[in-house]
Amino acid sequence: SLFRIPGNAEVTYILQNEDDLTNINMLTELVDTEDNSERHYKKLCRKLVEHNRACEQESEKHALTILIFSQDDYADDIVKGVYSANRGGMAPNLEEDFVFIKVVREYTNLVYQLLWKVPLYSVLKIDSGSPEGRAPEVVSNQRISILIIGLGDVGREMLIAGYWCGQFGYVAGEHKIKKFPLEIHVVDKYASTKKRQLEKDFPGINFGHASDHESDYCDFFFYDCDVTTKPFTDLFSQTKELANVNYVVISLGKDIDNLNAARTVQRELDMIALTCDHKFIINYVIKNENLNNSIKALHAGDTNQKMRVFGNIAQRYGMNNIFATELEKRAILIDNTHRELPDINVDEESGKIGFLNN
């Protein structure tokens, strides 16, 4: 689970294991202040370290980058502790040796990549304008209704990201979308238990109904339910709690479970769309590369584009997700806008901000 990517001069190590604790342990081996481990960076990259220590100018140094995969917040604390411990030691510290450590949250990046490519607001209906020349406008009285099936790594990140992104208005060309009501539905066998954990992890969020707190803008609904049973489909057709959902994310763990759940939700929402103008999109995880590509090609023939697969292994662990280049470019543009800086070439700037300064 320790991978080295050699460059012409610089070196990158990737700590990539399904178990976050294993990645943390590997990190401590690499940067232990006692230099006891055979996998310590000073031994693995002896020539690079010697070169950097001999350089008088920082611009002459070659970076040693360590990417550690972890979804847990304590990973950031560990990294801060590592830098603090090295500063207090007698040996040259990580900063002098030009060692940079970045925590990679692959599921967080994956979800934000999804929201970048398929925004929440893409499900809102826009009228056709008027013969007198009135520009098309977003139809009023619409609600963004997110359905999350499976509250694992992807589902949990989608819940937080959806809650965060759903509070903003959006401007694109002539279409100006004002703030619309937001609701998030969560279906999981253990939804109530996981809700209690969310309340502990995010005490600032009210995971109830917005009407109970005037300052909130989102209604949350949690259902302890198995998606393979009739009580789940009844939520669409009988009790109708899910009859108005329009943005769906499915991640149950196994590809076959995600595929079956996507088909079930599509069938139920298609039935609803027979009697009303209901626009929706279903995003579901397919990790297997070949299966993902095959289904993606199948969905490409759908002119409505209401089904979308994402989250294959290559996408999750690929460089675009690790470095989140497109998201970083957007962040640079927004940052410069707020700071009233002149336009810059974001292609040149991306990679400099955030990557080496996590």
Kindly report the number of other CB atoms within 10 A of residue 180's CB atom.
19
Question: What pLDDT does 25 receive?
Answer: 87
| Dist CA 74 CA 283 (whole Å) | 30
Q: How far apart are the first and last CA of the chain?
A: 22
Kindly report the number of other CB atoms within 10 A of residue 65's CB atom.
18
Contact 44, 12 (CB under 8 A): no
Contact 312, 288 (CB under 8 A): yes
Contact 14, 27 (CB under 8 A): no
Token digits of residue 230: 């009739």
- How big is the chain, counted in residues? 358
What does the CA dihedral 120, 122, 124, 126 come to, rounded to 10 degrees?
150
Question: What pLDDT does 197 receive?
Answer: 95
Considering only CA atoms, give the Rg of the chain. 24
Question: What pLDDT does 149 receive?
Answer: 98
Positions of the chain with pLDDT lower than 50, given as ranges: 90-91, 169-173, 352-358
Could you list the beta-strand ranges (E) of 125-259. 144-149, 170-172, 175-177, 182-188, 218-224, 247-250
